[in-house]
Amino acid sequence: MMILQKPVILLFGKNGQVGFELQRALSPFGVVHAFGRQDCDLADLSQVKEIVRQLRPDIIVNASAYTAVDKAESEPQTAYLINSALPSVLAEEAISIGALIVHYSTDYVFDGMQPGWYVEDDIPNPQSVYGASKLAGESGIAATGCHNLIFRTSWVFGAHGGNFAKTILRLAKERESLSVIADQHGAPTSAHLIADVTAQVIVQYWNEVHRESFPYGIYHLVAAGETTWYEYAKYVIAYAEKTGIALRLKSSAIEAIPSINYPLPAPRPSNSKLDSGKLRKTFGLILPDWRQDMAHVLAKIITDQAS
């Protein structure tokens, strides 16, 4: 898609899974200034404000987050600072300079008790500190009245950083058996896909003549289809087996267990199925099936590990 004049884009969270991919996806379309923890103390909101005021970006992309779901239960102040106070401050700065803010949220804003798929208008009911802090971040952004796009996603994985797929591959080289939860449902979604969709939507925004009427707001952004952590693990192992890498674990040796057998400090939603229909229809996008999305990234993970 053509873009006439490149926007100045300020990216926070450059070293996370999504932030890493955003640098790749946004660079062709904008002048990207990317900040990570080594560049900026996100807990120092005055420092964050100063960066925004110096750069005066056209677009602020906040890919930073406190994502230690279980640790958040014992560190609620830190979780709320990064997941709520920070995006709220960024939104306030955005409205003062007329910038768009792009932010990422999570399936954890829902309690996971609803049958079927969650749409954007369903009532949130987070069951963990992490989920509650992310919902507070959404609300804080909306309360400023700034132009914003909030993408809720789930089960994020990527070639960069730690995630479930990489953990399964590591354990498959160490163990001959493994138990994985089979009663939580969702769609694994790659950081690569999230970044590419973000870039496409940003280009549509930047090329929009009448930005006041642009469809701002919350959108669900996940790969198509659904699975469980158990089926997800089996897919990863089966894919790895086809590549010929040495594994001790066979996909047939993975045991399905209920969540109750694997208690954690923070409860997980049993239903994390987010409906991306609004995103697809509004911006004319096609989102791949989670298996297709995953195969692309698994190939890179396995290649990187072999090199």
DSSP structure class, residue 52: H
> What is the C-alpha to C-alpha distance for residues 296 and 192, in angstroms, rounded to an integer?
9
> What is the C-alpha to C-alpha distance for residues 215 and 203, in angstroms, rounded to an integer?
13
- Structure tokens, 185: 């449902």
- Catalytic one among 66, 104, 108, 130? 130
Q: Which spans in 27-151 are helix H?
A: 45-55, 76-80, 86-97, 129-144
Tell me if 164 sits within 8 A of 272, measured CB to CB. Answer: no
**In angstroms, how far is CA 304 from the centroid of its own chain?**
22
- Structure tokens, 163: 């995630």
Radius of gyration for the chain, computed over Cα atoms and rounded to the nearest angstrom: 19
Beta-carbon count within 10 A of 53 CB:
11
> What is the C-alpha to C-alpha distance for residues 99 and 91, in angstroms, rounded to an integer?
9
Cα dihedral: 295, 105, 162, 279 (round 10):
10
Contacts of 98 (CB under 8 A, 6+ apart): none
130 catalytically annotated: yes
What is the set of active-site residues?
130
